Structure 1
């Protein structure tokens, strides 16, 4: 199975990058499963129903969230009628929506997509490890799902690496999100799970993690807020990872970074280029 995970989409410029590049990737790379983290897609904070549909129309099979899941209050309502929208599984038990979804892929197979949120340097949440464990045990790889992807939305690379090894051999991909900075540690772990600490953001990198530079710098220099954070509006880089799995096992055989457009050096999976 060919899987593309697209890192946190930030604001309008990030959505434009998805609309411009993702349909061609789906076609040219014969993608089977596309997952997009959309928790910053509405002005940098949260997601709306129209944006959810925009990402689906561009080719997303599932859209994951994170700590900004409810910043747009309409998400509290529309998530229940948005079967491809997945919030962290370890949110409080009465949170609306779902923390995982069994998605039919573009080639008719089944992929379990799980979203979890970290606890280190983050707002308090339930234990992500036990929550992911329950989901994986309820829908095991090879038995009930052809692929399993875990979007682990966290601040600490140590916690993300812990989740990678915790899941190794039981899921296809553990991908870190949230920090908006792509890491260079993409690898297939010893048990066959593809891993990266952070897929990076899909946004304007002439920014402070996707936001216009002036207000973050003001706060760093003085400690005093002077206005709102606003998404940077320059050309965005679509950042993410490409993974190929073994159809017989559901485990990963290849992983590569993806970067298209904007300021960052381009990167593409050589194993899909002919």
Structure 2
């Protein structure tokens, strides 16, 4: 089976990139499931019912989140009601929403999706390593195909989780840093891995934000208000080929496509 995982969708330009680029990818690669990280989908921070609905209408099946999941007040209700959105599982018990899900791809096959947040340079949540292993074991009672979105800052933490879960899940894909890395590979135990899937949004920017604003921040060390850049948009993703019988990854391919200005 084939799964398309799209990197962090940033604001209106990111949603436009999904709308413009995804149809051609669906036609070319015919994935069985499309996942995207949507924690920056609403104005660059958070998600709302309208932005989530726009992404689902554009062809995305599931949305994962990250440290900006609560930046919009509407998310508290949205995540309780919308089963197609998964937030980091290592938030404390009682937090709205769900940290993992089983998505029915077809009558005889479900895909497990786990969302975890890193702890280096991010809020000190529960241990993603131990929790990830526990959730993987739980989901394996239902399916062999399990994808983990690890939303983390430090490359060392991401690589370590990939190695820790190798052979227990089908894929560990990193999000959050918005730069697609060149280390896509299948690990010895059969787990597809990449440190960061990349960003879907304005290409000519600094991680999605207007370049001049970020330069002003670095040069002056003064607080600034971030504004999402415009212009040419890009979609970055990975394509996962997985054996549904064993859950082992057979391949992982990086994708980079640009839309219109």
TM over 0.5: yes
TM-score by length of 2: 0.96
SS in 1 for 2:116: strand
Q: After the TM superposition, which residues 218-229 of structure 1 pair with which residues of structure 2 at under 5 Å, given as runs? A: 218-225=216-223, 227-229=224-226
For residue 251 of structure 1, the aligned residue among 248, 256, 259 is: 248
Partner of 1:77: 77
Query: What's the TM-score, normalizing by structure 1?
Result: 0.91
Partner Cα distance (1:95, 1:250) in 2: 30
Listed as ranges, the matches of 1:131-150 within 5 Å are 131-140=131-140, 143-150=141-148
Aligned residue in 1 for 2:166: 168
Length, aligned pairs only: 260
1:242 matches 2:239: yes
C-alpha distance in 2, partners of 1:105/1:57?
A: 17
SS class of match (1:183)? coil
Structure 1: gaps spanning 5 or more residues? 264-274
Deviations 1:69-125 (A, max 9, x none): 011110011111100100000012121000001011267620010000000111221
What CA deviation, in whole Å up to 9, does each residue of 1:17-72 have, x standing for no partner? 10112233223312101100000011100011111111112221210000000111
How many angstroms apart in 1 are the aligned matches of 2:208 and 2:117?
A: 20
Q: Deviations over 1:136-190 (max 9, x none)?
A: 11111xx411410000000001000011011101111100000000000000000
**Counterpart in the other structure of 1:272:** none
Whole-Å Cα distance in 1 between the matches of residues 22 and 149 of structure 2?
Answer: 19
Q: Which residue of 1 is the match for residue 201 of structure 2?
A: 203
2:56 corresponds to 1:59: no
1:216 corresponds in structure 2 to 214
Structure 1 residues 175-210: Cα deviation after superposition (integer angstroms, max 9, x where no partner): 000000000000000000000000010011211111
Cα shift at 1:236 = 1.3
Q: Is the 8 A contact 1:14 1:236 kept in 2?
A: yes
When the two chains are superposed, the root-mean-square deviation of aligned CA atoms in Å is: 1.4
Residue 100 of structure 2 corresponds to which residue in structure 1? 100
> Is contact 1:109-1:146 (8 Å) kept?
no
Q: Please tell me whether the aligned partners of residues 205 and 262 of structure 1 are also in contact (alpha carbons under 8 angstroms).
A: no
SS for the counterpart of 1:218 is: helix
Residue 204 of structure 1 contacts residue 262 of structure 1 at CA under 8 Å; is this kept in 2?
no
SS for the counterpart of 2:247 is coil
Superposition deviation, residue 130 in structure 1: 1.4
Task: Report which of the two has the higher share of strand.
Answer: 2
Q: Which residue of 2 aligns with 1:187?
A: 185
Q: Which runs of 5+ in 2 are unaligned?
A: none
Deviation at 1:248, TM superposition (A): 2.2
Partner of 2:109: 109
Is 2:23 the partner of 1:23?
yes
SS in 2 for 1:202: strand
